Copies of this chain bind each other. A is one copy, B any other.
Amino acid sequence: MNTDFVEMNVLFDFYGSLLTGKQMDIFKMYYMDDYSLGEISQELNISRQGVYDSLKRAESVLRFYEEKLGLVKKYNIESERINKIKFIIDKAKNDISDEKALKVLDDIQKELEGIEL
């Protein structure tokens, strides 16, 4: 299918809920469970062409929403920022001995761990 599996899995994480039930099933079998088109066709009792069309449709739906909402792009930018802060804190913990400051850095670190972009 010449489509990037990693890209598709990431797009699915963000927009999978916008696929129809059938698209979702086929998408998961193909991109997550490594079924071939023929195996999905047999399993779901749909023509191979039908499976292919559903997959292509699902891919274009996911790409459409990324184009409109750009959540993956935004996620990559913001998670880089968060990681930079985590890096600053890790580094600081080696350089700083002030007890109060270390406690504050711990608190910040804990809050950062909770952020789900």
- A10 located at the interface, meaning its Cβ lies under 8 Å from any Cβ of chain B in the complex: no
- A22 located at the interface, meaning its Cβ lies under 8 Å from any Cβ of chain B in the complex: no
Report whether B18 and A116 are in contact in the complex, using a CB–CB cutoff of 8 Å.
Answer: no
* Copies of this polypeptide in the complex: 2
Tell me which of B18, B68, B101 contacts A101 (CB under 8 A).
B101
Contact flag A17-B111 (CB < 8 Å), given A78-B117, A101-B101, A104-B92: no
Report whether A85 and B112 are in contact in the complex, using a CB–CB cutoff of 8 Å.
Answer: yes
Question: Among residues 55 to 94 in chain A, which have CB atoms less than 8 Å away from a CB atom of chain B?
Answer: 68-69, 71, 74, 77-78, 81-82, 84-85, 88-89, 92
Tell me which of B14, B78, B92 contacts A115 (CB under 8 A).
B78
* Residues of A near any B CB (own CB < 8 A): 14-15, 17-18, 68-69, 71, 74, 77-78, 81-82, 84-85, 88-89, 92, 95-98, 100-101, 104-105, 107-108, 111-112, 114-117
Kindly list 12 other residue pairs between chains A and B, CB separation below 8 angstroms, not including A18-B68, A88-B107, A108-B108: A74-B116, A77-B116, A78-B115, A78-B116, A81-B111, A88-B108, A96-B98, A97-B98, A98-B98, A98-B101, A101-B101, A104-B105
